[in-house]
Structure 1
Amino acid sequence: MSKIAPDLLALQRLYHWEKTAPTRVALTQPMGSGAVQDFTWAQVADQVRRMAAHLQSHGWEPGSKVAILSKNCAWWMMSDLAIWMAGYVSVPLYPTLAPETIRQILSHSESKALFVGKLDGWEGMKPGVPGDLPCISYPLSPADAIKSYEGWDAICKRTQPLKGEPVRDGDELATLIYTSGTTGMPKGVMHTFANFAWALDAGLKRIPMNGEDRMLSYLPLAHVVERMLVEHGWLRTGMHVFFAESLDTFAADLQRARPTIFFSVPRLWVKFQQGIHHKMPPAKLNRLLGIPLIGGIVRKKVMKALGLDQCKFAAGGAAPMPLALLEWYSKLGLHINEGYGMTENLALSHITEPGKNQQGTVGPVYEGVQHRIDPETGEVQMKNSAMMLGYYKEPEKSQESFTADGWLRTGDKGTIDKQGLLRITGRVKDLFKTGKGKYVAPAPIEDKLVMHEAVEACVVTGANLGQPLGIVMLNADAVAQVAEPSARAELENSLTAHLKSINATLDPHEQLQCIVVVTTAWTVDNDVITPTFKVKRNRIEDLYARHYESWEASGKKVVWQSS
């Protein structure tokens, strides 16, 4: 049995709230047209018990895999719990995957069944689901899935709840988390119930979370941070979790939840900033913030407009947070704590400490975590008690991910200062060498490049070229504006000035030859970004590498690329 106290494991937490807070609202689910459905802890437990009994009725071997393909919703979390209560292992899939990837994961994991939930692109995904795989739909599933598969509510209505308090040992496998990955096919990261419990223990010593808190769940629950912070944070503390309905209703969803704890990825923090600037130009906002009394009123109004006026703890992660972005939010009174971690260590590695000026780093390690820098490669390596068992059915890749003395290889380059603060400087494999024989680390340059108000995402590339190139994707507002020749010329002048200011901060071999502007969106659907908005560098190479030399030879500071 694991050293973790049994009452801290996931199922035991459900039984705790079922007994001690049965009438407390646990989950709030938007149902469309402004309507919501609340679930109390008693209702959650009852539905989980009924679904667990249904899953057990199939007679699968203990430890069998059951998959979940859905956007975040109340039934996603209840499905996870039902799978565990039935004695099985959950396999969450990102709700934006291509059919080939869906089929590969379902086959590789040997999943016995699939929950087909709330999805935007089900018609495109459906070919990836084997025709003989038992499937269950949710009340918010696409119409075709509701028609094709037996529904959650019907199953719960006809099935008696599982009795007693079935438990799982801490050392048992809880889930396979297939990494989204920026290259190659995803790998199934194996984590135990004890891993989650230990990570929550360590996390709560740095993140102030309790039963009075509210969170909005909108980043994919298939991602390790959302799974840890929202699902397992909810089970540990008994807090109230709200779900987002859609991108179109996101502002209203935030206003409904008024989250006290809020996590977002850098790309969305940038979009929030751009939304504010769209309503109030940066120069005017800065001027007002500098005026006593008025500045305080403006800060409150901006935070209320974002739905973050009651946020006591804000965090960013999954990709580097530009320093200028962190400073901008600090001026508004919202201090974003930057976290760092991986699926392989349950995202429990580093986070900046509230109230301390640690911007530009990802802070010190959590309690119980060790870190070091490989002297030869500069790679960040770490240890904690929530490290993966390995990759499912991939013993060689599992072995490669650890050093001979048992430290996890992160693949990230970094430095550790005298205060023990870690600074991420790039990926070990992202470094590229220019034609002049000099190495370039793209991440720090990208942090500067993305801060232009018209830029939504960017990549710095250029292996074997004389100088690196910056490729930027415009946001939707900028794309709409550049249809006008005068607006396009104005943006080109602005980007030229932006390039000049960036290059002034870089060493000669790092300075960008030009900025290449693309107006075609980089999306999950066209496979340029991962579900957590990381740009896939290999896809950028596939799409644009044939143009690099002509862009360099053009002599232009801003190059427009139509596709």
Structure 2
Amino acid sequence: MSSPQSLLENRPVSVAHLFFSRIRSTPSHVAYRYPAPAGAGDASSSGTEQWQSLTWEQTGERVRLIAAGLLSLGVRPEERVAISSATRVEWILADLGVMCAGAAATAVYPSTNAEETAYILADSGSRAIFVENVEQLAKVAAHADRLPGLDHAILFDSPADTPPAAGLEVLSLAELEERGAAYLAERPDAVEAAVAAIEREHLATLIYTSGTTGRPKGVRLVHDCWSYQGVAQEVSGLLRPDDVQFLWLPLSHVFGKALISGQIRTGHVMAVDGRVDRIITNLPAVRPTVMASAPRIFEKVYNGIASKARAEGGAKYKIFLWAAKVARDHAKARHDLATGSTRGGIPPWLTAQHAVADRLVYRKIRAAFGGNLRGSVSGSAALAPEIGYFFAGAGVPVLEGYGLTETSAACTVNPADDLRVGTVGKALPGNEVRVAEDGEILLKGPGIMRGYHNLPEKTAEVLTGDGWFHTGDIGEIDNDGFIRITDRKKDLFKTSGGKYVAPTEIEGRFKAVCPFVSNVLVIGDGRNYCTALIALDETAIMPWAETHGLSGRDYAEVVSSPQVHELVDGFVQRVNGDLQRWQTIKKFSLLPRDLDVEHGELTPSLKVKRPVVEREYADAIRTMYEGSREA
């Protein structure tokens, strides 16, 4: 059996090569499951949807037709073909079709507005675009005059009365596949020839950074980046051939895209449905063994469980609080054993309590996740350690990892058999990590981007001549090789008293103690004390309001009430008790609504755009500093 190092060194040239190898190895195995289209027996009496399947052989047939269809449109090696769609199986088919044609995919979030969509399409030089529906098509058509190189649009959902788009030939996905079939009738080996011509350093994907500040930058990821990701996820044990993975993450984001490479390498089943409002319903139907997510999902699940227990009141709430503490204590005890900071094993009394709590609480939590989850990978932002300990103790380990768009996603991840809560794990095989003198994390490896598209100056700012990438994140590495990210370099601020503050650390602590919080932003750069903007989770705070004299009021009225201010202040004081004086939150403002993507306050991967939020709520911030020296 080949060693992990040998597998990495002898990895295939591209995911296209991986894909055809997978088809040859397991042609009849199920590759993808996806919800049946509306009208195709879509709902059972239980309210769950019917799911359809594609084998690897069936997937290969469709991808081959899509690739040939693109070749028939004149798409050439490394030319860009954009995809603007929510996560669905057609996204994967289109992306594989682009790669097997030797072209490069430009990923566009479906939530991106028309102006920024046009910018991405123009900057990338995209020749064609796959769009989910006529709404996405309309965004492209609105700026067609700025896109002279864009000739074709292919619709996943194509109504009979599809409106024309000036300057674009509009095709349905089925029509593209028909063209592909005709093309292959004359050139039967065209797709195989296109794949054979792919080289490791050929451009495979342009993913535009979410842009927490400024214009998004196109990140150039070559075929070798994705081939490396596929093999690294296999040799690290992150993904296994017998896994069932539930994929709902946006495929326009590098995290979701990287998981496809790993799935093709291992050949496991992937259930695909990007509708966030269906996650809870889908989990028992899919029964995944592995799932990737953003921390916000686990925070919402935890807050939901806590709120439900509180609403039930009495003994049930006391049992939940006790079980939550036992889960954390048990997980921390396992952590202490793993790190060697304690000896003698987990105390018998804690083991006994954990067994009782499992019967009363944890089993129900695992059942809500489908009952088979061996681990859930979390990335894109930090997970509050107390929430991580809770899920680890409940038997739903959240394996935090770390990566950026510029590193083709994961560079580090926690191993399932040695989970260290509060860290982002160890470097994946083939990656190197070091800490610069100023504390910045530097990365080097096959998954690192080859630069920013059309931006050599920006590239030079973050990539050294010997291949080290400056992440912009501050962190540390312990003696066992586990990495801890403490903050974004650009987010660290200094108070007017000269003290440095890491806002992410304080925000994480607050999320861990306050079950009502959705988003929190600590402010204090150049000021003489710290404050916070706090948005509450509507699904958690409204049931509390009903039982505390605030029934009949809407969300904005509830969060502006003295009762809720007093409630939140209690959690603020709990956090302050564990902070240095200059870190403490002296004042806070409850926001009238949650932060969201639609208002431009969150990126599509749910990261907070701090400058946007601070501009939006400048008056609230100003009020919190009235009377201070810098007001």
1:151 equivalent to 2:151? Answer: no
Deviations 1:152-208 (A, max 9, x none): 123323531743323222222111111113111111111111122223323323234
The yes-or-no answer on 1:241 pairing with 2:270 is: yes
| Aligned partner letter, 1:243 | V
1:201 has 2:231 as partner: yes
> Residue 71 of structure 1 contacts residue 221 of structure 1 at CA under 8 Å; is this kept in 2?
yes
CA pair 9-518 structure 1, distance change in 2 beyond 3 A = same
* CA deviation vs aligned residue, 1:22-72 (integer Å, no higher than 9, x gap): 332211221244243322222211111111111111224422110000011
**Higher fraction of helix:** 2
- 1:335 aligns to what? 397
- C-alpha contact (below 8 Å) 1:455/1:474 kept by paired residues: yes
Task: Check the 8 A contact 2:107/2:208 in 1, yes or no.
Answer: yes
Q: Using the alignment, how far apart are the partners of 1:426 and 1:535 within structure 2?
A: 13
Gaps of 5+ in 1: 556-563
1:419 aligns with 2:440: no
CA contact (8 A) 1:208 1:313 kept: no
Return the offset for 1:139. 4.2
In structure 2, the residue matched to 1:526 is: 599
Question: Distance in 1 between the 2:592 and 2:382 partners?
Answer: 23
Partner of 1:22: 27
| Residue of structure 2 aligned with 1:310, choices 362, 372, 396 | 372
Give the Cα–Cα distance (whole angstroms) in 1 for the partners of residues 611 and 161 of structure 2. 35
The offset of 1:431, in angstroms, is 1.4
Assess, with a 3 A threshold, how the Cα gap between structure 1 residues 211 and 129 changes in structure 2: closer, same or farther: farther
Partner SS state of residue 249, structure 1: helix
Specify which of 490, 502, 509 is matched with residue 429 of structure 1: 490
| Secondary structure class of the residue paired with 1:63 | coil
Aligned to 1:440: 501
Number of the residue aligned with 1:560: none
What fraction of aligned residue pairs are identical, expressed as a percent?
29
TM-score (norm 2): 0.81
Confirm or deny that 1:276 pairs with 2:315.
no
How much does 1:210 deviate? 2.3
2:286 is aligned to: 257
Q: Which whole-Å CA distance do the structure 1 matches of 2:608 and 2:402 have between them?
A: 17
Change (3 A) 1:141 1:263: farther
Q: Encode CA deviations 1:434-473: one digit per residue, 9 max, x unaligned.
A: 2323221101001012231111111111222221111111
Deviations 1:101-146 (A, max 9, x none): 1111000000001000169877667635557634444444688768
| Partner residue, 2:417 | 355
* 1:384 aligned residue: 445
Q: Which has the larger radius of gyration?
A: 2
Does 1:116 pair with 2:135?
no
User: Quick check: 2:247–2:291 contact (8 Å CA) kept in 1?
Assistant: no
Counterpart position of 1:559: none
**For the structure 1 residues 207 and 225, does the alpha-carbon distance in structure 2 shift closer, same or farther, using more than 3 Å as the test?**
farther
**8 A contact 2:234–2:265 mirrored in 1:** no
8 Å Cα contact 1:465/1:549 also seen in 2:
no
Change (3 A) 1:65 1:121: closer
**Per-residue Cα deviation, 1:269-315 (whole angstroms, up to 9, x for no partner):** 111112222332353224357556542233222211233x2111222
2: CA distance, partners of 1:144 / 1:186: 34
Report the equivalent of 2:92.
77
8 Å contact 1:425–1:441 — kept in the other structure?
Answer: yes
CA separation of 1:399 and 1:187: change in aligned 2, threshold 3 A: same
Q: Counterparts of 1:374 and 1:91 in 2: how far apart (Å)? A: 33
Instruction: Name 2:358's counterpart in structure 1.
Output: 296
Name the SS of the counterpart of 2:429 in structure 1.
Answer: coil
- Change in CA separation of 1:258 and 1:3 when aligned onto 2, cut-off 3 Å: closer
What secondary structure, in the 3-state scheme, does the structure 2 residue paired with 1:191 have?
strand
In structure 2, the CA distance between the partners of 1:543 and 1:145, relative to structure 1 (3 Å rule), is farther
Distance 1:3 1:204 in 2: 10
By how many angstroms is 1:508 displaced?
0.9
Q: Indicate the residue corresponding to 1:449 in structure 2.
A: 510
SS in 1 for 2:115: helix
Give the 3 Å change call, closer, same or farther, for CA 204–22 of structure 1 in structure 2: closer
Change (3 A) 1:367 1:170: same
Distance apart, 1:346 and its partner CA: 1.6
Q: Distance in 2 between matches of 1:201 and 1:243?
A: 21
Stretch deviating more after TM superposition (92-101 or 342-351)? 342-351
Counterpart residue number, 1:505:
578
**TM-aligned CA distance change 1:144 to 1:100, over 3 Å:** farther
Whole-Å separation in 2 of the counterparts to 1:304 and 1:140? 34
Contact 2:576/2:584 (CA < 8 Å) preserved in 1?
yes
Do residues 91 (structure 1) and 106 (structure 2) align? yes
Letter in 2 for 1:310: N
Three-state SS of the structure 2 residue aligned to 1:473 is strand
Contact 1:99 1:129 in 2 (8 A): no
Change (3 A) 1:460 1:453: same
- Residues 29 and 466 from structure 1, CA distance in 2 versus in 1: closer, same or farther, beyond 3 angstroms? same
Task: Return the alpha-carbon distance in structure 2 between the equivalents of residues 10 and 357 of structure 1.
Answer: 29
* Aligned twin of 2:520: 458
CA distance in 1, matches of 2:395, 2:369: 13
Q: Which moved more, 1:38-47 or 1:71-80?
A: 38-47
Partner residue, 2:46: none
8 Å contact kept, 1:365–1:371:
yes
Aligned-partner Cα distance in 1 for 2:545–2:307:
18
Instruction: Tell me how far apart the structure 2 counterparts of residues 518 and 328 of structure 1 sit (CA, whole Å).
Output: 28
Structure 2: runs of 5 or more not aligned? 1-6, 43-48, 311-316, 327-352, 551-560
- CA distance, structure 1, for counterparts of residue 626 and residue 300 of structure 2: 33
Structure 2 SS opposite 1:349: strand
Q: 1:251 to 1:539 in 2, by over 3 A?
A: same
Cα separation, 2, equivalents of 1:336 and 1:408: 27
